[in-house]
């Protein structure tokens, strides 16, 4: 309950949320963060449900962040993914939370980093982050997850070609889900052909949630990746932290802009102004300190 309240505090940017985040940092950075992405209908949520069962059997504290599309009216999440995983929600070792993407095209809301840190501070050892499922724009998952799983279906047609210039290149592990439908060998061959010239092709696993097949092999593959690619994961985590700091700085500047009436007046002239010159003026004003800085 305390964790749920803390997430709400951070997600809604309530008073003192920054103090909370600053206080938990000695406790963060320990969990394995698994990002799961793929097109809508690929069975991501059903696959996660089976993964939770396998991880529970290992006695690992688990958290799942299901990033849902935001309502265009309220900004809230639809909570559909949490309903699919409801059978695990009463387990003391499992924490499941749906959060809104707030319309963020990268598939993740800006508060996702902070929420992941809260989950780590609470003692979760495995954090699964399921993105909205909107295709190439989901590359932002690489800025949060240690290992990225891309979920495909055997009958996904030319999906590999569609994703060629985008999300396929950030995946560490490919999962051909719904393999009970047949055709998974062809999809595996297609992926291998795409990565034929790379030094180390990604791992590929065929799974069937319906028949409960391939899940234990997938979990073993994730563990193997964690062990064999520890140096790469450390490098990813350093990049994640740099990206996070950049987002914090950008958010602080946006906050200053909202609080500075002078900048608000300047933005009123945006329709007729040269956008580059106006941006330079705003940056200069922020550098010299706005009203918010003077008050503090």
pLDDT for position 107: 44
Quick one: which of 180, 201, 199 has its CA closest to 191?
201
Which of 172, 205, 228 finishes a domain? 228
Which of 228, 252, 267 finishes a domain? 228
- What is the model's pTM? 0.84
**Which domain does 264 fall in, by range?**
242-295
Beta carbons within 8 Å of 276's beta carbon, 6+ residues apart: none
User: What are the mean pLDDT values of the chain's consecutive 10-residue runs (296 residues total)?
Assistant: 91 88 85 89 87 91 80 45 62 84 51 91 94 62 90 71 61 90 85 82 90 94 94 92 87 85 88 90 82 46
116 lies in the same domain as 259: no
Across 3-41, b (16+ Cβ under 10 Å) vs e yields beebbebbbeeeeebeebbeeeeeeeeebbbbbbbbbee
| Residue 48 within any structural domain of the chain | yes
121 lies in the same domain as 262: no
| Residue 234 within any structural domain of the chain | no
269 lies in the same domain as 175: no
217 lies in the same domain as 258: no
191 lies in the same domain as 260: no
pLDDT for position 138: 61
Burial label for 274, CB within 10 Å (0-12, 13-18, 19+), is exposed
Question: Cα–Cα distance between 258 and 266 in angstroms, integer?
Answer: 12
Contact 237/146 with Cβ under 8 angstroms? yes
pLDDT for position 62: 95
| Residue 289 within any structural domain of the chain | yes
120 lies in the same domain as 179: yes
36 lies in the same domain as 88: yes
Q: How many domains does the chain have?
A: 2
pLDDT for position 100: 67
Which of 228, 251, 275 finishes a domain? 228
CATH number at residue 67: 3.40.50.300
């Amino acid at each position: 309950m305390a964790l749920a309240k803390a997430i709400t505090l951070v997600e809604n940017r309530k008073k003192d949320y920054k103090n909370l985040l600053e206080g938990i940092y000695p406790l963060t950075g320990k969990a394995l963060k698994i990002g799961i992405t793929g097109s809508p209908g690929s069975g991501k949520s059903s696959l996660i449900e089976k993964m939770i069962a396998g991880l529970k059997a290992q006695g690992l504290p688990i958290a799942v962040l299901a990033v849902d599309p935001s309502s265009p009216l309220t900004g809230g999440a639809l909570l559909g993914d949490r309903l699919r995983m409801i059978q695990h929600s009463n387990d003391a070792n499992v924490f499941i939370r749906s959060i809104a993407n707030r319309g963020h095209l990268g598939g993740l809301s800006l508060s996702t980093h902070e929420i992941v840190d809260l989950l780590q501070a609470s003692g979760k050892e495995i954090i699964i982050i399921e993105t909205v499922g909107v295709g190439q724009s989901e590359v932002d998952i690489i800025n949060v997850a240690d290992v990225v799983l891309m979920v495909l279906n055997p009958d996904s047609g030319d999906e590999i070609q569609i994703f060629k210039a985008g999300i396929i290149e950030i995946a560490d592990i490919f999962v051909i889900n719904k393999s009970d439908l047949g055709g998974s060998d062809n999809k595996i061959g297609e992926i291998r052909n795409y990565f034929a010239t790379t030094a180390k092709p990604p791992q590929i696993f065929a799974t069937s949630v319906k028949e409960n097949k391939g899940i234990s092999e997938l979990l073993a593959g994730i563990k193997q990746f964690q062990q064999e690619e520890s140096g790469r994961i450390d490098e990813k985590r350093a990049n994640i932290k740099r990206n996070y700091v950049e987002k914090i700085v950008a958010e602080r500047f946006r906050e200053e802009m909202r609080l500075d009436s002078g900048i608000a007046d300047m933005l009123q002239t945006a329709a007729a102004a040269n956008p580059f010159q106006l941006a330079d003026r705003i940056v200069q004003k922020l550098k010299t300190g706005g009203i918010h800085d003077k008050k503090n």
